[in-house]
Amino acid sequence: MPELPEVETMCRGIRQVKGRRISRVSTPKCSLRPIRIAPSVSAIQKCLRDEAILDITRLGKRVLLHTEEYALILQPRMAGLVSLGVAPSSKHIRLQIDFHGEPDCRLLYWDRRGLGSVELIRNDEVQSRIVVGRLGPDALQITSEDFATRLAKTSRAIKVALLDQKLLAGVGNLYASEMLHVAGIHPATPAAQLSKSRIRRLYNAMQDVLLTAIEHEGSTLSDGTYRNALNDPGSYQNQHRVYDRAGAPCPKCSAGIVERIVQAQRSTFFCSRCQKT
DNA sequence: CATATGTCCTGAGAGC
DNA sequence: TGCTCTCAGGACATAT
């Protein structure tokens, strides 16, 4: 579930480890199937031991911890998170990073379903290995012109196009439904068919929804999986207009009922009364 | 090339 | 109550 707002919240929440020197990288013993970690944990430890974390950045839905030479890339996918020593359960802690002189503050990568991954590459490889061919411009960095140009090139339904990380990085299933509702656009509308003014509305809705969600520290759904770096839930779920609200009255027009459809094997929520093709 | 589908994984919740 | 079944969806591999 972590999308741009949740990953951004993770990055902000662990900012205090900036400047600390790594003493140990380890995997707590775990009865679950191991997640994908490359290279091995011992190889990662060899590269990172005694190195300082100089920067923490976000690339789409990934968290990057930078040392002078390396980037440790944490990709939470569906059910992962990065935290400061506390996690929803100890059973699912997949990676632990300890620091010199800070016995009480460690960095954890926690992942309930183990679909996420950890990867160490050199900083100078980030562009070629992670960005090129995988990630489009970040949803909070892209210009409205570039956004319009990219959407004009695909015949796919707008909701499906928004989930394509090569087209635009950071938007996931939850926020795609939310921003389309704010913009009043039916999720099945072919992207290339949208007028310039409606694309502009969608762009503004995207900025607004993502920034507001960051202010609320993301969305913690009913499964409670997502937490911020201190293990507290986000609060944007209380602002959801349509996501996971099928059957409820539309918060915008009150006359419509929120509907659920499936697009590209994923749930989409919308109000057919205020969202038109 | 563009687009569509299958797969990974665990836990929550439904249904009996 | 305890079992089985279905579902959640990000990103990649593979197919069309």
Task: State pLDDT tens for residues A156-165.
Answer: 999 999 999 9
Q: Both A191 and A111 in a single domain?
A: no
Q: Residues A241, A219: contact at Cβ < 8 Å?
A: no
Examine the domain organization and report whether A102 and A208 are in the same domain. Answer: no
Of A182 and A232, the structure prediction assigns the larger pLDDT to: A182
**How much is the average pLDDT of A26-43?**
90
For the stretch A172-198, pLDDT in tens is 999 999 999 999 999 999 999 999 999
The yes-or-no verdict on residue A43 having pLDDT over 90 is: yes
Q: Output the pLDDT for position A184.
A: 96
Quick: pLDDT tens for A66-110.
999 999 999 999 899 999 988 888 899 999 999 999 888 899 999
pLDDT at position A60: 94
pLDDT band at A18 (very low <50, low <70, confident <90, very high): very high
Answer yes or no: do A81 and A198 share one domain: no
Helix (H, G, I), strand (E, B) or coil at A123: helix
Q: What is the pLDDT of residues A104-148, one digit of tens each?
A: 889 999 999 999 999 999 999 999 999 999 999 999 999 999 999
Domain of A157: which CATH number?
A: 1.10.8.50
Residue A102's pLDDT is 83
| Residue A138, domain member (yes or no) | no
Q: Which distant-in-sequence residues (6+ apart) come within 8 Å of A249 by Cβ?
A: A255, A256, A257, A258
Residue nearest C12 (alpha carbon to C1') = A134
Contact by Cβ (8 Å): A221, A77: no
Residue A61 included in any domain: yes
A139 inside domain = no
Q: How many alpha carbons fall within 13 Å on the CB side of residue A93?
A: 19
CATH assignment at residue A76: 3.20.190.10
As a whole number of angstroms, the distance between CA A77 and CA A79 comes to: 6
The predicted pLDDT at position A1 comes to 75
Residue A235 has what pLDDT? 80
Interhelix angle A173-183/A196-215, rounded to 10 degrees, is 130
Question: Average pLDDT of chain A?
Answer: 92
- Mark the nucleotides of strand C covered by protein, meaning any atom under 7 Å from a CB: 7-12
Question: pLDDT at residue A30 above 80?
Answer: no
Place of tokens 């762009």: A203
Q: Can you give the pLDDT at residue A224?
A: 66
| Pure H helices in chain A | 4-13, 41-48, 126, 144-151, 158-162, 173-183, 196-215
Query: How far is Cα A183 from Cα A202, in angstroms, rounded to an integer?
Result: 5
A78 contact to strand B (CB, 7 A limit)? yes
DSSP state of A267: E
Question: Does residue A42 fall inside a structural domain?
Answer: yes
Domain boundary among A106, A131, A156: A131
Q: What's the domain range around A87?
A: 4-131
Report whether A1 contacts A221 (CB < 8 A).
Answer: yes
The total number of structural domains in chain A stands at 2
Tokens of A151: 């959407």
pTM: 0.94
**Residues of A labelled catalytic:** 2-3, 61, 266
**Nucleotide with the nearest C1' to A266 CA:** C9
CA A157 to chain centre: 21
Q: What pLDDT does residue A229 have?
A: 81
Give the number of other Cβ atoms within 10 Å of residue A54's Cβ: 13
Q: Are residues A23 and A121 in the same domain?
A: yes
DSSP letter (8 states) at residue A190: B
Q: Is the CB of A78 under 7 A from strand C?
A: yes
Nucleotide nearest to A130 (CA to C1'): C11
Long-range contacts of A88-93 (CB under 8 A, 24+ apart): A88/A112, A88/A224, A88/A225, A88/A227, A88/A231, A90/A28, A91/A30, A91/A31, A91/A32, A92/A30, A92/A32, A93/A28, A93/A30
The pLDDT assigned to A14 comes to 94
Give me the mean pLDDT over the A7-26 stretch. Answer: 95
Say whether pLDDT at A5 is over 80: yes
Residue A207 pLDDT more than 90?
A: yes
Of A94, A97, A96, the residue nearest A80 (C-alpha): A94
Joined tokens for residue A209: 């929804």
